[in-house]
């Protein structure tokens, strides 16, 4: 085994080991503490868990790309909410309503285009102004949320289309529609990042931006495309989720960006860019969802869940640091 392979293996495998630990813990703790009769590792419960992972998971795949690229996107929660409003509201527009169920693909398209357009705005500003993506998307987070409220004030936007609900609640080969979307997005993003020139360039730019520029990679347009991809995925996430629920509150999706980033970081993607994996992000998404669901299963309230996840995130980053510096005989500072 070449030097460095063991620690790489440990890091890649760590998230899956963590998931196994979680499952064991909640299965055992569930026996004693759960209010419900059902075991935690129940098949239906696991299927539901996958389905519930989809909204965060789909966005997390885009966030992995953005973070590997050396950027960050804090506006995904607001993009998610705005795309949801476009999806539901557009179906009530007269010309759309006249189309009957044919309105559905158009509504989806409008929502997804909204996501792409918002992402393009972020990417364009980052490209042309050179302002840090953190600041640009922080502004976008507030700005896009403002648009959400301008749309319908404090009122929820609702529209139920039963064909759409049936589609969203359908199960194919045992998996829910949302789960299928999550798996397809994961596969597509894995392919993009590992097999295409665009994906490999994303790693190169995140790893050493100057080297990438000197090698003739057009970093600006590249970054803009990545922001359009994450905008698209944030909108897709909304499309999948709100097809079923049919009602969006103006505060929906708040703090999504933080959950998504937490999942990506748990999966081992470096905050500084250059390193990260789609498969590990998938693990990170599952780990968070199991934790939320598991803590709920043993009767913990939401506040406790947030506290525990926060502690675990810090512990993970600490362990990661220890793992990284050990070989280098870190100096004490």
Partner 1 sequence: MTDKTPALRLENIVKTFPGVRALDGVSFEVLPGEVHALMGENGAGKSTLMKVLGGIHQPNEGRILVGEEPVVMANPLDAKAKGIVFIHQELSLAEELTVAENIYLGELPRKSFGRVDWKTLHARTDEILAQLKVGFDARTVVGTLSIANQQMVEIARALTVDAKAVIFDEPTASLTDAEKVVLFEVIEDLKRQGVGIIYISHRMEEIFRITDRISVLRDGQYRGTLVTAETDEDEVTQLMIGRSLDLSRNESHAELGDVAVEVRGLSCGDLYRDVSFEIRRGEVVGFYGLVGAGRTEIAETLFGLREPSFGQILLDGEEVRLHSPADAIARGISLVPEDRKGQGLVLGMNCRDNMTLPQVDDLKAGPFVAEGAEVAIFDQYRDRLDIRTPGWRQLVGNLSGGNQQKIVIGKWLSMHPTLLIVDEPTRGIDVGSKSEIHKLVRDLAAQGYAVMVISSEMPEVLHVSDRIVAMYHGELIRSFTSDEVTEDNLIQAISGIRPDEKAA
Which residues form the interface with partner 1 (CB under 8 A)?
2-4, 195-198, 200-201, 203-204, 207-208, 210-217, 274-275, 329, 331-333
CB of 232 to partner 1, least distance (A): 17
Q: Which is nearer to partner 1, 28 or 213 (CB)?
A: 213
Q: For residue 142, list its beta bridge partners.
A: none
Q: Which is nearer to partner 1, 217 or 305 (CB)?
A: 217
Residue indicated by tokens 């989720």: 241
- Nearest by Cα to 264 from 278, 248, 246: 278
For residues 182 and 260, is the Cβ–Cβ distance under 8 A?
A: no
Q: Quote the distance between the C-alpha of residue 172 and its chain's center.
A: 23
Name the strand (E) or helix (H) holding 27: helix 5-33
- 3-class state of residue 247 by DSSP: strand
- Determine the length of the chain: 333
CB of 90 to partner 1, least distance (A): 31
E strands in 8-146: none
In angstroms, the Cα distances linking 89 to 12, 27, 112, 143, 237 are 43, 42, 14, 20, 17
Q: Which is nearer to partner 1, 4 or 153 (CB)?
A: 4
CB of 5 to partner 1, least distance (A): 9
- Nearest by Cα to 229 from 123, 81, 300: 123
Rounded Cα–Cα distance for residues 94 and 82 (Å) = 20
CB of 219 to partner 1, least distance (A): 10
Terminal-to-terminal C-alpha distance of the chain: 32
Indicate the DSSP class of residue 100.
G
Q: Which is nearer to partner 1, 68 or 178 (CB)?
A: 68
For residues 302 and 58, is the Cβ–Cβ distance under 8 A?
A: no
CB of 288 to partner 1, least distance (A): 25
Q: Which is nearer to partner 1, 9 or 149 (CB)?
A: 9
CB of 200 to partner 1, least distance (A): 6
CB of 206 to partner 1, least distance (A): 8
Rounded Cα–Cα distance for residues 19 and 13 (Å) = 10
Rounded Cα–Cα distance for residues 263 and 95 (Å) = 40
Q: Tokens standing for 240? A: 């999948």
Q: Which is nearer to partner 1, 36 or 196 (CB)?
A: 196
Q: Which is nearer to partner 1, 207 or 320 (CB)?
A: 207
Q: Tokens standing for 2? A: 């070449």
Q: Which is nearer to partner 1, 128 or 195 (CB)?
A: 195
CB of 276 to partner 1, least distance (A): 9
């Amino acid at each position: 085994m070449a030097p460095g392979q063991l620690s790489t293996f440990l890091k890649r495998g760590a998230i899956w080991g963590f998931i196994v630990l979680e499952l064991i813990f909640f299965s055992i703790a569930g026996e004693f503490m759960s209010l419900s009769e059902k075991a935690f590792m129940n098949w239906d419960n696991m299927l539901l868990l996958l389905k519930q992972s989809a909204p965060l998971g789909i966005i997390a795949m885009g966030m992995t790309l953005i973070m590997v690229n050396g950027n960050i996107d804090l506006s995904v929660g607001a993009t998610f909410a705005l795309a949801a409003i476009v999806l539901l509201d557009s179906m009530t527009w007269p010309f759309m309503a006249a189309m009957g169920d044919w309105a559905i693909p158009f509504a989806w398209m409008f929502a997804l285009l909204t996501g792409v357009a918002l992402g393009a705005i972020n990417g364009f500003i980052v490209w042309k102004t050179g302002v840090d993506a953190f600041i640009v998307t922080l502004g976008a987070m507030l700005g896009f949320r403002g648009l959400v409220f301008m749309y319908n004030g404090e009122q929820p936007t609702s529209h139920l289309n039963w064909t759409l609900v049936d589609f969203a609640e359908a199960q194919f080969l045992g998996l829910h529609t949302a789960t299928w979307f999550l798996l397809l997005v994961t596969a597509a993003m894995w392919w993009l990042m590992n097999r295409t020139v665009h994906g490999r360039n994303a790693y190169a730019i995140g790893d050493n931006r100057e080297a990438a520029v000197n090698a003739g990679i057009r970093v600006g347009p590249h970054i803009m495309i990545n922001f359009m991809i994450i905008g698209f995925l944030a909108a897709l996430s909304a499309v999948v989720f709100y097809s079923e629920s049919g009602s969006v509150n103006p505060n929906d999706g708040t703090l999504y960006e933080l959950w998504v980033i937490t999942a990506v970081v748990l999966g081992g993607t470096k905050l500084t860019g250059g390193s990260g994996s789609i498969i590990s992000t998938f693990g990170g998404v599952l780990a968070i969802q199991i934790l939320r669901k598991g803590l709920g299963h043993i009767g913990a309230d939401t506040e406790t869940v947030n506290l525990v996840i926060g502690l675990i995130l810090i512990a993970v980053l600490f362990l990661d640091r220890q793992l990284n510096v050990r070989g280098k005989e870190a100096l004490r500072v």
